[in-house]
Structure 1
């Protein structure tokens, strides 16, 4: 798929799927990130991307249960560069819930890039996914605001400066029933966010944009 988009400031762009051939670029660009950027993206001081992490972040993208999209914008006439990456990954044992991660290149933050990319990602999310369940650092309010724009959101205070976040997504079919209230989402999802297996998966997700060269 290739989908044309336009940022709020009028910048033209298009959204394309992440490819397996982007693995080397992801590794190289991760090494250029500042320590604080790595901490915010992985909720921990990750120094290098391991082969096991890359297996999940790139090789496991199948466009069905694991969707990863890149937003490229026109940075000069007829020249398009990637500025953001977003992905949604269905939990294997909880088919109606998924994790979500977004990264926007520093100089493009605050220009509606994440909002624009997420609009496309939500239309291409895994079939049957009704809610996002993820973790965000408490000192990352921008990510909390981004998630809150997707639907009714509940934030649960967890240990070590981390928030558990649950978002009830609107139905992809306009005729479908409305999304469940936030109280219901909390009751159903709390065990998932507290389970150590799922929390490990959250720690090894991709929140790093592979800037192609």
Structure 2
């Protein structure tokens, strides 16, 4: 099943295109990765990393039918479109109803709603391909990703570990491009509750700022 490209806008008014990643996008992946902070790279690989290897570039841009799909976000209205985010799923061979997901948002465009857009697009496509559950492994300090997945119905199975396992029900979500005032209020309340619960459980120290990670999921490619 092919993913149908579509254009939308971020909270700051930036026009973007969401489309499926192909092997021809290796250079775009390299460009985007080079713009990630060391913190975002660490959250993606759960280890310190400098560059992507040739084999990783092959793997991250490969498509395997409906079992491995990646959706990329590119800026529009500029002379040369820039890669600003990517989301992917890889289906588990022994559990075809489940897939592991990963999402990366460039630091410069976080908190603009791109994480939610990518997750909605990925969820919609996966549901049409027979996937009913997403799985993610997230660093406990990646509060943005934890918050994003929780807002989509994610549940934590290893709350006391440094690397947290999260399961997420998959549904055919409509890609709403605007948020009502009621939804905005609910989202703000969710973020406030999440901050309180994470601090109480020891995920985040009282002196650590987490606001920059709350809207778009931090980074996970």
TM-score for the superposition, normalised by structure 2 = 0.67
Any idea what the Cα deviations from partners look like across 1:24-46, whole Å, max 9, x if unmatched?
44345535544332211111123
Distance 1:152 1:164, change over 3 A: closer
Match of 2:203 in 1: none
Query: Where do 5+ consecutive residues of structure 1 fail to align?
Result: 174-205, 209-213
Matched, 1:44 2:47: yes
- Quick check: 2:84–2:109 contact (8 Å CA) kept in 1? yes
Query: Structure 2: how far apart are the matches of 1:5 and 1:21?
Result: 23
- Displaced runs of 4 or more, over 6 A: none
CA RMSD of aligned residues (A): 2.7
What residue is the counterpart of 1:72 in the other structure? 74
Q: Report the counterpart of residue 94 of structure 1 in structure 2.
A: 95
TM superposition shift of 1:172: 6.6
Instruction: Determine the C-alpha separation between the residues in 1 that align with 2:81 and 2:31.
Output: 20
- The corresponding residue for 1:108 is 109
In 2, are the aligned partners of 1:152 and 1:169 still within 8 Å (CA)?
no
Q: State the 1:89 CA deviation.
A: 1.2
For residues 171 and 107 of structure 1, do their structure 2 counterparts lie closer, same or farther at Cα, with a shift above 3 Å needed?
closer
Which one of 134, 137, 152 corresponds to residue 135 of structure 1?
137
Taking the aligned partners of 1:73 and 1:32, their CA distance within structure 2 comes to: 15
Structure in which a larger fraction of residues adopt strand: 1
What TM-score, normalized to structure 1?
Answer: 0.69
- Gaps of at least 5 residues in structure 2 are 175-218
